[in-house]
């Protein structure tokens, strides 16, 4: 925890193309006292190389280690720069190349002592400074330096020194050329045989047998496997003892027949309903309109008639014998006479 608190991190971003930022990178390199460890894909910037050679002359204790891709040694101009670093930095500079023709060593970072690192898309070339769109972070951090340095040491252990890798590449080129030569010779020999067969063929005999091309000998038949030993016959199983026959169950006793049910007595016929007495018919009394008479003589008669009608209605309601209305009106007429 104390180391993390004391690790003061500073970061300065640089963007390219920029000649000014190239000079900042060179000044950043000049802080090295013990070692510089560079891991880049390609390394052709003469200004940076010149500064490194100058620093090794001024400080014989300074060590420079460089890791780059092995494809760089196949380009004469790039190989010449790497040779210059090794020649002028004898005993101080070392260069290793990756030993893979399939993958690239595409890292781009450097480690200075135990304090500084620089990393980004920036390749150490002239075009990265003058033409390309690149970035580079100048970082001061002991913790990050440790992590990058561990990665560098891992690659340094796996890769080969430049001269050894160059010798290996040269041998690989020789082997490749030899394989191509043998292949060409074989093809030429087969073509010559075919031409000779065509020249010796009889044009009048279309059925001339032609020599079949060489074929790989077929593999002989496989040796038959030894027959497997027959398994010993299994012992016959002893027959099982027959089970004793089951005793027959006694027949069930028949159930006694049920007694017949007693017939129900016939129902008594219901007495016929007595016819209801017809209700008396009520007839409405119609008022007989009388002819109009003179107003003066009719007033007394009307009064007497009204009284008579009221008396008639009372008599009808109180009549217990329910006399017919026609008889009642007949009696009324006789009384009025």
Query: Measured between alpha carbons, how far is 186 from 268 in angstroms, rounded to an integer?
Result: 134
pLDDT value of residue 58: 95
Name the pLDDT band for 207 (thresholds 50, 70, 90).
Answer: low
Integer Cα distance of 52 and 88 in angstroms? 10
Distance of CA 316 to the CA centre of its chain: 108
Three-state SS for 288? coil
- Going from N- to C-terminal start, the domains of the chain cover 8-165
Give the model's confidence band at 322: pLDDT under 50 very low, under 70 low, under 90 confident, else very high.
Answer: very low
* pLDDT band at residue 327 under the 50/70/90 scheme: low
Distance CA 122, CA 41 (A): 10
Model confidence pTM above 0.75 = no
Q: Any idea which of 110-114, 135-139, 144-148, 244-248 has the lowest mean pLDDT? A: 244-248
Closest CA relative to residue 55, chosen from 82, 85, 20, 22:
85
**Cα R_g (the chain), whole angstroms:** 69
pLDDT value for 321: 47
Q: Cα-Cα-Cα-Cα dihedral of 307, 313, 317, 322, to 10°?
A: 120
* pLDDT for the residue 87: 92
Structure confidence at residue 164 as a pLDDT band (50, 70, 90) = confident
Give the residue, 59 or 248, on which the prediction is more confident: 59
CA torsion angle 50 55 57 63 (round to 10):
-110
Residue 121: predicted pLDDT? 96
With a cut of 50, say whether residue 38 has pLDDT above it: yes
Question: At the fourth CATH level, which superfamily is domain 8-165?
Answer: Endonuclease Chain A (3.30.870.10)
Q: Which burial class, exposed, middle or buried, applies to 32 when counting CB atoms under 10 A from its CB (0-12, 13-18, 19+)?
A: buried
How do residues 216-256 score in pLDDT, each as one tens digit?
Answer: 556 666 676 766 766 766 766 666 766 766 776 766 776 76
pLDDT (0 to 100) of residue 24: 97
Q: What is the structure's pLDDT at 13?
A: 97
How much is the average pLDDT of 17-25?
96
Here the tokens at position 173 are: 């080129």
| 173 — pLDDT class (breaks 50, 70, 90) | confident
Write out the two tokens for 251.
């027949």
Out of 186-190, 198-202, 272-276, pick the least confident: 272-276
Torsion, CA 192, CA 194, CA 197, CA 198, rounded to 10 = -110
Q: How many angstroms from the chain centroid is the CA of residue 127? A: 44
Average pLDDT of the chain?
78
**Whether residue 289 has pLDDT greater than 50:** no
pLDDT for 335 equals 44
For 28, the enclosing helix (H) or strand (E) is helix 19-29
């Amino acid at each position: 925890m104390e180391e993390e608190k004391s690790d003061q991190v500073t970061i300065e971003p640089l963007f390219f193309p920029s000649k000014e930022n190239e000079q900042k990178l060179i000044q950043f390199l000049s802080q090295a006292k013990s070692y510089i460890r560079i891991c880049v894909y390609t390394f052709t910037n003469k200004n940076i190389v010149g500064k490194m050679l100058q620093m090794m002359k001024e400080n014989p204790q300074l060590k420079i280690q460089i890791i780059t891709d092995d494809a760089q040694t196949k380009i004469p101009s790039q190989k010449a720069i790497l040779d210059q670093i090794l020649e002028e930095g004898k005993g101080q500079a070392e260069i290793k190349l990756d030993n893979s023709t399939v993958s690239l060593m595409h890292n781009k970072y450097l480690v200075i002592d135990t304090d500084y690192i620089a990393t980004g898309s920036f390749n150490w070339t002239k075009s990265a400074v003058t033409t390309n769109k690149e970035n580079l972070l100048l970082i001061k951090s002991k913790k990050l330096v440790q992590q990058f340095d561990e990665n560098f040491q891992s690659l340094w252990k796996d890769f080969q020194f430049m001269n050894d890798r160059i010798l290996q590449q040269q041998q690989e080129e020789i082997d490749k050329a030899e394989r191509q030569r043998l292949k060409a010779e074989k093809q030429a020999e087969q073509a010559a045989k075919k031409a000779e067969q065509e020249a010796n063929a009889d044009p009048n005999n279309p059925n001339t047998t032609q020599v079949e091309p060489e074929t790989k000998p077929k593999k002989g038949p496989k040796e038959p496997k030894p027959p497997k030993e027959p398994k010993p016959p299994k012992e016959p199983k002893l027959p099982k003892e027959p089970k004793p026959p089951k005793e027959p169950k006694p027949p069930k006793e028949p159930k006694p027949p049920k007694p017949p049910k007693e017939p129900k007595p016939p129902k008594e016929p219901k007495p016929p309903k007595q016819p209801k007495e017809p209700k008396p018919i009520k007839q409405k009394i119609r008022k007989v309109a009388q002819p109009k008479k003179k107003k003066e003589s009719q007033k007394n008669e009307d009064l007497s008639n009204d009284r008579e009608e009221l008396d008639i209605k009372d008599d009808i309601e109180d009549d217990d014998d329910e006399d017919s209305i026609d008889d009642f009106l007949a009696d009324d007429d006789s009384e009025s006479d």
